[in-house]
């Protein structure tokens, strides 16, 4: 089962739906709600890069700040997704290992759909491996 860290800087129906989904479909390490989104984003990214967990799912009001902070860590590939297509292809074409989402913009159903799509892609497109290596 995929081990996933979850953390958010606020709580609402959307974050609760994401946590509920992860609790059923992953080995969840739920860090809950914390206001220090730059800190928890980098801490989660370190755990992903160090192979302590498989993925991280981070949420903030826009999903952008958590992506920016996580991407400061070498080897982290955080993608902010607001639709399933972006989530799918961030995994497929960029081998994204961290998903960030807006807890304000997305409905619970949209967030779960994006998350499900992100987690359904097990490995990147083999044709993109050289490009993914160039990201590092």
Query: Which residues are marked as active site?
Result: 60
**CA of residue 23 relative to chain centroid, distance:** 15
DSSP 57: E
DSSP 62: S
Three-class DSSP category at 118? helix
- CA–CA distance, 8 with 11 (Å, rounded to integer): 7
| Contact criterion met (CB below 8 Å) for 22 and 54 | no
Per-residue pLDDT reduced to its tens digit, 47-96 = 999 999 999 999 999 999 999 999 999 999 999 999 999 999 999 999 99
Per-residue pLDDT reduced to its tens digit, 6-58 = 999 999 999 999 999 999 999 999 999 999 999 999 999 999 999 999 999 99
| Contact criterion met (CB below 8 Å) for 16 and 108 | yes
Residue (of 46, 47, 54, 51) closest to 1 by Cα position: 54
Per-residue pLDDT reduced to its tens digit, 117-127 = 999 999 998 99
The pTM of this model reads 0.96
């Amino acid at each position: 089962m995929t081990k996933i860290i979850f953390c958010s800087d606020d709580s609402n129906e959307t974050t609760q739906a994401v946590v509920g989904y992860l609790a059923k479909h992953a080995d969840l390490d739920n860090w809950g709600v914390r206001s220090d989104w730059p800190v928890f984003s980098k801490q989660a990214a370190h755990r992903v890069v160090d192979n302590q967990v498989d993925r991280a799912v981070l949420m903030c009001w826009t999903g952008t700040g958590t992506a920016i902070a996580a991407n400061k860590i070498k080897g982290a590939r955080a993608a902010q997704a607001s639709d399933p297509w972006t989530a799918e292809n961030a995994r497929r074409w960029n081998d994204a290992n961290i998903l960030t989402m807006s807890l304000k913009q997305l409905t619970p159903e949209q967030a779960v759909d994006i998350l499900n799509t992100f987690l359904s892609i097990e490995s990147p497109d083999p044709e993109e491996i050289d490009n993914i290596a160039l990201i590092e």
